[in-house]
Amino acid sequence: MIRSRFVDLANGQRLHCLEAGAGPLLLFLHGFPQFSGMWRRQLGHFSTRFHCVAPDQRGYNLSSKPQAVRDYRARPLVEDIVQLADALGHDRFVLVAHDWGGAIAWNVAAWHPDRVERLFICNAPHPITLLRALRTDPAQVEASAYMSLFRLDKAERVMAEDGYRRLKRMVFEAWGRSGVAADDETVAAHVAAWSQPGALTAMLNWYRASPLHPPEPDAPLPDLDPAMFHVRVPTRVLWGMRDGALLPGILDGLDAHVDDLQIERVPDASHWIVDERGDHVNRWLDAGLSR
């Protein structure tokens, strides 16, 4: 049975979580513009062997929504995940993550290798390969143009117009092109999450706080030290090759930044692979967890 609970962290944040099962900790991190509910199929499948927990990340749905943009930088978001494991009573854990959740998971694994048993990434770029692509690949810069919109002051108004029409199109129309239609309950659950007071601004603040985005005159791309982002824990990457926002070239050279890496490419899946190919994701996780 999947349970809903709130977990208070040592840093003062409160994360709403979906939780199931008992055993070693298996943490599931969602991305933009989703929430903990995207992992229900995985929570049910793995709860017979693991303590499965999917938080609404900071700013999303029912979790805390600090107001300052700086509160959505990488370090406090990483701190949330480590402190969540502490609050749940686990020293070590496995991370499964998608999109922005994956961006944070890469950093958790790099900065806290003593805490992470294994890392599973679904369509989420490593920061160093994303930085390279934003500097050298015009196609990726064009594909990332939406990030520039999300950083603008008008982004909330634009994304909320017509009952969140653009967000719905961004997510659910993409599923439909892969042959999977979102049901009315799923759409309503997402709209309810987006409609929580302060949620849309907090979600967009992840983009405003990030140094990785298409180059802007007043916000040039940073210089990052690859050593700070080197991952030494066993890592498995699943990539929907029809991802129109994060192009497959982001995978090139990833092995230079991850000691133990396996990549599986799924030709008929998009960025939203967890929703489109949930059974495939479960089989992929089963295989990786059984090693």
- 186-192 long-range contacts, Cβ below 8 Å, gap at least 24? 186/37, 189/35, 189/37, 190/33, 190/34, 190/35, 190/37, 191/163, 191/164
What gap in Å lies between CA 71 and CA 136, rounded to an integer? 29
Residue in 207, 213, 243, 257 annotated catalytic? 207
Active site (annotated) includes residue 99: yes
Active site (annotated) includes residue 207: yes
Task: Say which residue the tokens 């230079």 belong to.
Answer: 256
Is residue 200 classed as helix, strand or coil in its secondary structure?
helix
What gap in Å lies between CA 27 and CA 122, rounded to an integer? 14
What gap in Å lies between CA 130 and CA 68, rounded to an integer? 25
Residue in 126, 257, 271, 275 annotated catalytic? 271
What gap in Å lies between CA 81 and CA 114, rounded to an integer? 14
Give the sign of the dihedral formed by CA 45, CA 233, CA 90, CA 17: negative
What gap in Å lies between CA 134 and CA 146, rounded to an integer? 13
Helix (H) or strand (E) holding 120: strand 116-122
Residue in 80, 99, 243, 275 annotated catalytic? 99
What gap in Å lies between CA 54 and CA 253, rounded to an integer? 30
Active site (annotated) includes residue 137: no
Listed residue (238, 257, 244) closest to 42, CA to CA? 238
Residues identified as active-site: 99, 207, 271
